[in-house]
């Protein structure tokens, strides 16, 4: 027979595993949504937008 504390421990563990699984799946989804750019496009972006200046206003 399971006690109340056993049930609480199981609930906490289940929450932890569900949260971890959701985070992993969200990372996969985010990675899939990042658009692919070719090396040519990347070089063009770098040439248009150099490093930010260190000047402050």
Question: What pLDDT score was predicted for residue 1?
Answer: 64
CA 28 – CA 25 distance, rounded (Å):
5
Q: Token pair 């992993």 is at which residue?
A: 24
Structure token pair of residue 27: 């990372």
The label of the residue with tokens 């929450």 reads 15
Mean pLDDT calculated for residue range 2-26 = 94
Q: Report whether pLDDT(22) > 90.
A: yes
CB under 8 Å to 37, separation ≥6 — which residues? Answer: 45
Higher pLDDT pick, 39 / 51 = 39
φ, ψ at 4 (rounded to 5°): -60, -40
Can you tell me the distance from the alpha carbon of 15 to that of 21, in angstroms, rounded to the nearest whole number?
Answer: 10
């Amino acid at each position: 027979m399971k006690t109340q504390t056993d049930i609480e421990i199981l609930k906490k563990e289940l929450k932890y595993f569900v949260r971890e699984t959701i985070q992993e799946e969200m990372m996969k989804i985010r990675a899939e949504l990042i658009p692919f750019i070719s090396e040519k496009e990347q070089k063009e972006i770098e040439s248009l937008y150099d490093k930010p200046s260190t000047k402050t206003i």
